Amino acid sequence: MMLEDLRVLACGGRDAVKLCATLLERAGASVDFEAANSVDYDVIVVSSDVDHAADWKASRMHIVCDITATGPQDSRAGTPWTDAQIQAMSGLMDTTGFAHGAPARIGIALTEISAALYAAAAIASAVRVKRLRGIVQNIDVTLMGCAASALTTFLPAAFAGRSAARVGNRHPACAPWNAYRTRDGWILICTSTEEQWRKLRQEARVPALDDARFTTLADRVGHVDELDALIETWTTTLATEDCTRICERIGVAAGPIVGIADLHDEANFRMRHPQAARLIEANGIDGQTYRQVSIFETSALSDTPVVAKPEIRKRDGDTAPLAGVRVIEIGQYTTAPLVGKHLAALGAEVVKIEPPDGEVARSWTPGQGGTSYFFALNNTDKQTIALDLKHEADRAHLRTLLEDADVLVENLRPGALAKLGFTRETLGAINPRLVYCSISGFGIASAYPSRPAFDTVIQAMGGLMDLTKSDGAPVKIGASAADILGGQAALFAIVARLAMPSEDAGTFIEISMQDVAAWCALFAAGKGASRGQTLACLDGHIWIEGDVSDTERARCITQPKIAAARSIAQAVPVMRVDELLDDSDFLADVLSVARDANGAFWPVLKVPYRLAKTPARVRAVPGAPEIVRRAPPAPARAPVPEDRPA
């Protein structure tokens, strides 16, 4: 257990408070939900916009974490906004749903869950600070900040002056990528390379797919309606299981949309969580079912003996929570980069390993100076190095980096790092004190050891899409929810491990994104959704909590959304992401600016958790990765005559 000596009191009415306490308990803390004597607690978790927070924040005796809807400087501060209202106000709701339909409410309390995960990580950081430096401090976490942190795939368009449209189950830059009907249900199919498209086209054997309209990726994206219709002429001839098996055989990410009530029958869930599956099968889903699913697993890194750990490395005057911690990150896109970004914001020295040509996401548009806004948002404050791990000299350089590292985090396909010579046992021999976190779609021990996974597939197979509907059809959460939540789970597990006394041995942390998605979906299903709906206005939509009268519905159609929201109780406007850049609260409390090595300014996001005395900071955008020069090969020696028998 990582936080076994920690005593926690959770006394706020928000779901985020309850879930944060559950996470801390999973990491070994003892948790109470009713105070007997507050002096007995190390940490108190509250939600001051829902409940009275007493004088705990002013006591200076406890680490007090206050989870609220908006920050204290926000003009809307103090109002107990719900998760659905924050989804609407933050732009999250507008990104979810089909392109020609209305915005859809996300079927899980995404901002509450995200706030719980970030709060747990921030608390673990504060515990580390208290243990090492004796500093006790308050923490503020906002649902609005968590919502904004999930918009990294949509904010780049806003930074470039464009509006990011809803895409339903499609991908704005890849095709085919969608949910397709099968003979007995739905399947998500996601291609990301030309090789995957070629194999899928050959397997489908639909002659029209050879048409010139689909030759290049740009062609396919430009004719995506016709493309999807043709793909579905193939998938509808197959059972979902058969179609999934074909895609797995050819290396294309695919998976069924699993109903939450059928989650216990999903092969990987049943394999990894047999007790939870049996309970769901026998009793259905209730408010405690989610607690049967763990979002991370820990074990010893290896059997290698551990030597005493050197004193923590600190830069002069650096009081950041993770000052002196060294991190190696090997990963692309969202999940592992999100972990590295937050570890860096908390003060760790993070070295990101990129392939020789740099991470693919660097070149996505829009951006500036040859680097994408997406990459900048996910990789602040890191040192970047280009290594080709197929070459022994570059693997040797990585081994050198690992010898002095505290943390390794990666989101490669399970077994990929081991094939390069970095098994758990090898890593333990290189550095017995290492905290190694592996993030994957289905986990190390999986029913699908060869199946690739993308965020969309995990949303489908973890129950998230079944809970999120648009006009009755399952739709993925617009934000990359499975990637983001998986990264947040890894962040908490890593920081909780770093909060332990330094003499502890190396640790292996395993994160399965499907486990995390299922945990979230089961919590939502056990709680049940509150009533509410989106209504169309002259210039967009509003979200209304509860029931809606015909009079209110008629009134909305004739008014702009801001005016309509003000005239109806429990209504808020559904904001587009680009509209946030004109919102004074968003600009003051969420958006920030960083600089790169050339002095150029970049729009970035503040972290959604604020530690009062040792704050996390977002400061810099990395430049091009440093190229590690390999030593030239040794000159060939003159051949030595072979020894021959006389």
Structure tokens, 410: 């990666």
> In angstroms, rounded to a whole number, what is the distance separating the alpha carbons of residues 510 and 294?
11
Domains 7-166 and 292-304+321-446+454-526 share a fold: yes
Please indicate whether residue 394 is annotated as part of the active site. Answer: no
> In angstroms, rounded to a whole number, what is the distance separating the alpha carbons of residues 402 and 171?
36
Q: Which residues of the chain have pLDDT under 70?
A: 36-39, 53-55, 306-317, 502-504, 630-646
Tracing tokens 């047999």 back to the chain, one arrives at: 274
Q: What pLDDT does 304 receive?
A: 76
Tracing tokens 């021999």 back to the chain, one arrives at: 429
Give the type of residue at 528.
G
**Is the CATH number of domain 177-256 3.30.1540.10?**
yes
Structure tokens, 448: 């699908």
CB 458 within 8 A of CB 439: no
b/e string for 434-459 if b means 16 or more Cβ within 10 A? bbbbbbbbbbbebebeebbbbbbbbb
b/e string for 516-525 if b means 16 or more Cβ within 10 A? bbbbbbbbbb
**Is the CATH number of domain 292-304+321-446+454-526 3.40.50.1100?**
no
CB 469 within 8 A of CB 106: no
CB 40 within 8 A of CB 47: no
Label the pairing between strands 371-372 and 367-368: antiparallel
CB 62 within 8 A of CB 43: yes
pTM, to two decimals: 0.94
For the chain, first and last CA: distance in Å?
Answer: 67
CB atoms within 10 A of CB 286: 13
Classified as helix, coil or strand, 159 is: helix
Classified as helix, coil or strand, 592 is: strand
Label the pairing between strands 407-410 and 435-440: parallel
- HEC readout, 249-271: HCCCEEEECCCHHHHHHCHHHHH
b/e string for 589-602 if b means 16 or more Cβ within 10 A? bbbbebebeeeeeb
Q: Where exactly are the structural domains of the chain?
A: 7-166, 177-256, 292-304+321-446+454-526
- Among positive and negative, which fits the CA dihedral 259, 264, 269, 275? positive
- Among positive and negative, which fits the CA dihedral 192, 198, 199, 200? positive
CB atoms within 10 A of CB 582: 9
> In angstroms, rounded to a whole number, what is the distance separating the alpha carbons of residues 582 and 588?
11
Q: What pLDDT does 633 receive?
A: 53
CB 455 within 8 A of CB 482: yes
Per-residue pLDDT tens digits for 540-555: 999 999 888 888 889 8
Burial class (CB in 10 A: 0-12, 13-18, 19+), 557: exposed
Give 351's DSSP letter.
E
Classified as helix, coil or strand, 437 is: strand
E-strand spans in 526-611?
Answer: 532-537, 540-545, 571-574, 591-595, 601-605, 609-611
Asked if omega into 622 is within 30° of 0 (cis), the reply is: no
Per-residue pLDDT tens digits for 443-490: 999 999 888 889 999 999 999 999 999 988 999 999 999 999 999 999
Task: State the architecture of 7-166 in CATH terms.
Answer: 3-Layer(aba) Sandwich (3.40)
Give 304's DSSP letter.
P
**Mind giving me the DSSP string for 459-479?**
HHHTTHHHH-EETTEE---SS
Q: Give Cα 199 to chain centroid, integer Å.
A: 30
94, 483, 515, 578: which one is catalytic?
A: 483
**Mind giving me the DSSP string for 376-431?**
HHH-TTEEEEE--TTSHHHHHHHHHHHHT-SEEEE-SPTTHHHHTT--HHHHHHH-
CB 314 within 8 A of CB 323: yes
E-strand spans in 467-531?
Answer: 469-470, 473-474, 507-512
Q: From 327, 365, 363, select the one nearest 345 (Cα to Cα).
A: 327
